Amino acid sequence: MKSTSLNTHQQQPSRSSLSAFKARVVRLLGKKLWLPTVLYEGLPVFYALAGIAAIGTTLFVSGWYWILPFCWLLGLLCLHASIYVWRLRRHYRRSNQASDRRDHKRPSQPRKSQLSQ
């Protein structure tokens, strides 16, 4: 009687192919993701609506009591993410606005006392 292994037909990937795959994944994850403006600006609103919907579902779920804490947790996390992203963007935009105002100030006018001299 022959002893057969279950993995005789499957080949193990070589180390070089695994390292090449890891390099591709790292390169892909390292790329910047540029979203269209409509999606970018709508993310905090989407997070807030998803959080409200998740919390709202707890009012209507009657039979599956085990899912209620998960809905609450998901809802609170989405609301927190919405507020966090909104505050980060507001802070960044306000700091950029202030620096733009400082850079584009009009040159100061000479004082009257300097003109009479």
- Run means of pLDDT, 10 residues per run, the chain, 117 residues: 53 72 85 86 95 92 85 96 96 85 63 58
Is the pTM higher than 0.75? The answer reads: no
How high is the pLDDT of residue 65?
84
How high is the pLDDT of residue 43?
93
With beta carbons less than 8 A apart as the criterion, state whether 58 and 71 touch. Answer: yes
